[in-house]
């Protein structure tokens, strides 16, 4: 958008987006003006400094509730820091439209369970730390952020976390020979802890017996979507610094749409990292081995699944090379048979377990291992948190975790291994009766725009995606 048109186009778009008639689907609209982040809904408007200082400009404050321990769908933890982080990159949109938690949009690719919002429910990932140096305290009343994951892994592995936005968890004592980060994509914090407490995630219980879980989990960067937060977890910086601002975005300098988060582009997603941003793998002291399993944010890892995919050119045709889901003893076969994403996630995670076992059967396992579990995201999208399919995806992931933990225990390495289990975002159930579309309203009002990843509006473009 050229600067002369800024306020005119933005005001026209805001008139449409903040109309009370769209309030059931538009939770918030956020933008930057003169260095301040503005946040508005149909009933109020505030301006935020990065320090959190907030000026009320109209009506009532739409993000007044920010208690990071609250599980209210209208609570927005760390709102100022997270929004300022996003808008620091020029790839950020002119207007970020935040869906209400209830908004149901299957016609645009939405699912019964969704995430992406600034709210606490969709932003809260689980966070468990286990192993030597960690006091066994069960569930503790604490909260961290996804950017703290990178700092914690670096600190535990003896690497520097200088320059990261996050900080190591106070419980992380760098004494273990091996550091393992596990990401259960989309696993909802509250439901994971509830299932564990009910005895249904025995491998997670094994971790908890040697550590602690934060009830407030780790709060994702905004938007609370996959690649933004995988990248934040493994670089320790927010999207305004690492540059992966959404699963799809528009790069104004290149004049092109960028879609780094798809099965066809994951292996090459890191080409979009901003210069100077380093992963935890790159920060490891020279000569130490690292492994990055089923994870696109792999720069500098000694072993990388996606590195192998890049070398062999197998991207886009991996299915025949993966284990068969119907034969998987750890899978809930009812959902393998009925949900193709569940079947695919099962294949990918079975291959992940195979890689974890062979890496950990080596004479000396890697100093730093990271493993991404994808099935949990499929399960939560398919049914929403607490659904049978979401819970089955966590039980399956737990069985695979148990197999790897058995190997660690057999080899006598439990006391040398610290494990961090987290996710990239939370999950919230949509309300099937809550439908609507702001793009249609903008088109009717003749506002020129493009909408990337359904919520990132770039004004002044006539292309609507
Ligand atoms: Zn995800």
Same domain, 367 and 449: no
Cα 227 to middle of ligand 1, angstroms: 7
Residue 161 included in any domain:
yes
CA of 110 to the centre of ligand 1 (A): 14
Cα-to-centroid distance, 3 and ligand 1 (Å): 34
Q: Which residues pair with 128 in a beta bridge?
A: 213, 421
* Residue 234, domain CATH: 3.40.720.10
Q: Is residue 254 part of a domain?
A: no
Start-to-end CA distance of the chain, whole Å, equals: 17
The tens digit of pLDDT for each residue in 329-368 reads 999 999 999 999 999 999 999 999 999 999 999 999 999 9
**Domain check: are 37 and 168 in the same one?**
no
In the reported structure, the alpha carbon of residue 460 is separated from the centroid of ligand 1 by a whole-number distance in angstroms of 30
Distance 15 CA to ligand 1 centre (A): 32
Q: How many domains does the chain have?
A: 2
Residue 195 falls inside a structural domain = yes
Residue 122 CA to ligand 1 centre (angstroms): 11
Domain contains 247: no
* Domain coverage including residue 206: 121-240+261-429
Question: Residue 116: inside a domain, yes or no?
Answer: no
Q: Are strands 178-184 and 249-251 parallel, antiparallel or unpaired?
A: unpaired
Same structural domain, 451 and 417:
no
Distance in Å, CA 16 to ligand 1 centroid: 30
- Is 0.85 surpassed by the pTM of this model? yes
The CA distance from 438 to 425, in Å, is 24
Helix (H, G, I), strand (E, B) or coil at 164: coil
Task: Report how far ligand 1's centroid is from the alpha carbon of 275 (Å).
Answer: 24
pLDDT of 17: 98
Q: Are residues 422 and 448 in the same domain?
A: no
Residues 158 and 298 in one domain: yes
Alpha helices, DSSP H, located in 278-332: 280-283, 305-312
Report yes or no on 105 lying in a domain.
no
Q: What's the rounded mean pLDDT across residues 211-220?
A: 98
In this structure, is residue 9 part of a structural domain?
yes
In this structure, are 181 and 327 located in the same domain? Answer: yes
- For 355-390, give the DSSP string: HHHHHHHSSS--SEEEEEE-HHHHHHHHH-TTSHHH
Q: Does residue 36 fall inside a structural domain? A: yes
One domain for residues 440 and 425: no
- Mark whether 310 and 171 lie in a shared domain: yes
Residue 1 has pLDDT above 70, yes or no: no
Residues 409 and 442 in one domain: no
Cβ atoms of 158 and 234 within 8 Å: the answer is no
Q: Are strands 144-145 and 218-219 parallel, antiparallel or unpaired?
A: parallel
> Which residues sit with Cβ closer than 5 angstroms to ligand 1, an ion?
185-186, 226, 377, 424
Residue 140, pLDDT > 60, answer yes
Whether 431 has a pLDDT exceeding 50, the answer reads yes
- In this structure, the strands spanning 290-293 and 303-304 are parallel
Give the mean pLDDT of 235-253: 97
147 and 14, same structural domain?
no
Summarised one tens digit per residue, pLDDT across range 377-420 is 999 999 999 999 999 999 999 999 999 999 999 999 999 999 99
Shared domain for 142 and 236, answered yes or no, is yes
Task: Please tell me the distance between residue 2's alpha carbon and the centre of ligand 1 in angstroms.
Answer: 33
Note the pLDDT tens digit of each residue in 15-59.
Answer: 999 999 999 999 999 999 999 999 999 999 999 999 889 999 999
Ligand 1 centre distance from Cα of residue 22 (Å): 27
Residue 303 and residue 215 share a domain: yes
Distance 137 CA to ligand 1 centre (A): 28
């Amino acid at each position: 958008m050229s600067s002369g048109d800024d306020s005119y186009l933005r005001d026209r778009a805001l008139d449409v987006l903040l109309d009370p008639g769209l309030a059931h689907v538009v939770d918030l609209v956020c933008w930057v003006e003169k260095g301040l982040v503005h946040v508005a809904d149909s009933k109020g408007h505030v301006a935020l400094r990065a320090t959190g200082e907030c000026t009320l400009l109209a009506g009532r404050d739409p993000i007044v509730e920010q208690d990071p321990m609250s599980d209210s769908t209208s609570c927005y933890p760390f709102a100022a820091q997270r929004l300022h982080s996003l808008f620091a990159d020029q790839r950020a949109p002119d207007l970020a439209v935040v869906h209400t938690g209830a908004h149901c949009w299957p016609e645009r690719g939405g699912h019964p369970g969704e995430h992406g919002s600034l709210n606490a429910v969709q932003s809260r990932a689980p966070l468990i730390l286990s192993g030597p140096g960690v006091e066994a305290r069960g569930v503790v009343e604490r909260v961290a952020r996804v950017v703290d994951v990178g700092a914690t892994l670096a600190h535990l592995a003896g690497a520097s976390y200088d320059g990261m936005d996050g900080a190591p968890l106070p419980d992380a004592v760098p004494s273990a020979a091996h550091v393992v980060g596990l990401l259960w994509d989309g696993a909802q914090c509250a439901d994971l802890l509830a299932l564990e407490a009910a005895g249904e995630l025995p491998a997670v219980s094994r971790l908890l017996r040697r550590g602690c879980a934060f009830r407030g989990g780790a709060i994702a960067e905004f938007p609370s979507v996959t690649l933004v937060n995988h990248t934040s977890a493994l670089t320790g910086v927010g999207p305004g610094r690492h540059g992966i601002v959404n699963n799809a975005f528009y790069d104004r300098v290149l004049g092109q749409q960028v879609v780094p988060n798809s099965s066809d582009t994951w292996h090459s997603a890191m080409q979009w990292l901003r210069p100077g941003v380093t992963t935890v793998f790159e920060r490891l002291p020279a000569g130490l081995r690292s492994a990055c399993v089923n994870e696109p944010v792999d720069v500098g890892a000694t072993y990388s699944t996606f590195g192998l995919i890049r070398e062999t050119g197998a991207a886009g045709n991996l299915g025949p090379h993966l284990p068969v889901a119907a034969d998987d003893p750890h899978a809930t076969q009812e959902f393998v048979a009925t949900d193709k994403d569940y079947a695919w996630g099962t294949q990918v995670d079975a291959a992940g377990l195979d890689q974890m076992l062979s890496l950990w059967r080596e004479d000396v396992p890697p100093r730093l291992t990271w493993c991404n579990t994808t099935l949990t995201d499929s399960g939560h999208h398919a049914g929403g948190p607490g659904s049978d399919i979401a819970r089955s995806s966590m039980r399956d992931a737990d069985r695979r975790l148990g197999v790897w933990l058995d190997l660690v225990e057999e080899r006598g390495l439990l006391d040398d291994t610290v494990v961090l289990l987290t996710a990239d975002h939370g999950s919230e159930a949509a309300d099937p009766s809550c439908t609507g579309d702001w793009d249609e309203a903008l088109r009717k009002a003749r506002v020129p725009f493009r909408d990337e990843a359904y919520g990132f509006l770039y004004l002044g473009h006539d292309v609507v995606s």
